[in-house]
Amino acid sequence: NAGVTQTPKFRVLKTGQSMTLLCAQDMNHEYMYWYRQDPGMGLRLIHYSVGEGTTAKGEVPDGYNVSRLKKQNFLLGLESAAPSQTSVYFCASSSRATGAGELFFGEGSRLTVL
Amino acid sequence: SQQGEEDPQALSIQEGENATMNCSYKTSINNLQWYRQNSGRGLVHLILIRSNEREKHSGRLRVTLDTSKKSSSLLITASRAADTASYFCATGASAAGNKLTFGGGTRVLVKP
């Protein structure tokens, strides 16, 4: 049982390049989330989805786009990477709205933008 | 903005000692959760306490919640080197659309 899998685990980009982070979960969860983690800042919510075909903005959505075409996958895209987007990105999923249940996290994707 | 704020930011103890960390928050919540993160890994859920609960236990973990003071504490008893990690509190609140809001974390070092 893989749980939540993120790819790639590491990536280095140049300013202005684009990329997509893939999150896959095999727990049949409705809710999926993308967070970024920066030193001393905890985790901040970028975008989330409450079901297949839905997406919504979180706390820090600017510069990112997401898609949830399949229930098990949640993609995070950077159209034009900036150094401020250097961070560790975490995907998480939940069977219930997070007000009611726990989040299951992936191992993270470390992105460096030069 | 961060809803939960952990205190202290860092904690160093000897194996066998207890570790206590606190979390304060600003608005009314539905529940509060604690997570552990080992270095370079994802977060792992430890315990959830609802707003109408005052205390919960899970193994060597004890969590308290004081909604009048808008604070929670996590106690790890008889700590082990394997407890070395960062610990985060996260609050779920209707005002936040029932999305979890994380604090900055407490880094715990347990020395053997």
Among B40, B45, B103, select the one facing A42 at the smallest CB separation. Answer: B103
Chain B closest-CA separation from residue A110 CA (Å): 10
Q: Is the pLDDT of residue B96 over 70?
A: no
CB B100 within 8 A of CB A42: no
Contacts of A17 (CB under 8 A, 6+ apart): A80, A81
Mean pLDDT, chain B, rounded, equals 92
pLDDT of B2 higher than 60: no
Q: Is the pLDDT of residue B95 over 80?
A: no
How many percent of chain B have pLDDT more than 70? 93
Closest to A105 (Cβ–Cβ): which among B40, B43, B92? Answer: B43
Q: In this structure, what are the phi and psi dihedrals at residue B72, rounded to the nearest 5 degrees? A: -140, 155
CB-CB neighbors (< 8 A) of B102 in chain A: 35, 42-44
Instruction: Choose among B100, B104, B105: nearest Cβ to A98.
Output: B100
Rg (CA), chain A: 13
Q: How far apart are CA B39 and CA B43, in angstroms?
A: 10
Do residue A108 and residue B45 have CB atoms under 8 angstroms apart? Answer: no
The conformation of residue B39, written as its DSSP 8-state character, comes to T
What own/partner pairs with CB < 8 Å and gap ≥ 24 does B64-68 have?
B65/B32, B67/B28, B67/B29
Distance CA A62, CA A85 (A): 10
Average pLDDT score over residue span B80-98: 86
Chain-chain contact of B41 with A107 (C-beta, under 8 angstroms): yes
The residue of chain A with its CA nearest to that of B98 is: A99
Q: What is the average pLDDT across B42-67?
A: 96
User: How far away is chain B from the Cα of A18, in angstroms, using its nearest Cα?
Assistant: 24
Q: Which of A9-18, B6-15, B25-34 is modeled with the greatest confidence?
A: A9-18
In the predicted model, what is the mean pLDDT of residues A60-89? 97
Average pLDDT over residues B72-85: 97
pLDDT of residue B37: 96
> In this predicted structure, what is the pLDDT of residue B1?
45
Q: What is the pLDDT of residues B11-24, one digit of tens each?
A: 999 999 999 999 99
Give me the sign of the Cα torsion angle B55, B58, B62, B64.
Answer: negative
The residue written with tokens 């969590």 in the block is B63
**Residues facing A44 on adjacent strands:** A36
Distance from CA of A12 to the nearest CA of B (A): 17
The whole-chain average pLDDT of chain A stands at 93
**Which of chain A's residues have a Cβ under 8 Å away from the Cβ of B21?**
none
Is the pLDDT at B4 greater than 80, yes or no? no
Taking the CA of residue B91 and the nearest CA in chain A, the distance in Å comes to: 8
Give dist(CA B20, CA B18) in Å, integer.
7
- Judged by CB atoms closer than 8 Å, whether chains meet at B99 and A98 is answered as yes
**Whole-angstrom distance, CA of residue B51 vs CA of residue B26:** 14
DSSP of chain A, one letter per residue? ---EEEE-SEEEE-TT--EEEEEEESS--SEEEEEEEETTTEEEEEEEESSTT--EE-SS-TT-EEE-SSTTEEEEEESS--GGG-EEEEEEEESS-TTTS--EE---EEEEE-
Nearest CA in chain A to B88: A42
Give chain A positions within 8 Å (CB) of B103.
42
Among B107, B100, B109, B108, smallest CA distance to B25 is for: B100
Q: What is the pLDDT of residues A2-33, one digit of tens each?
A: 799 999 999 999 999 999 999 999 999 999 99
Model pLDDT for residues A30-57, shown as the tens digit of each residue: 999 999 999 877 899 999 999 999 999 9
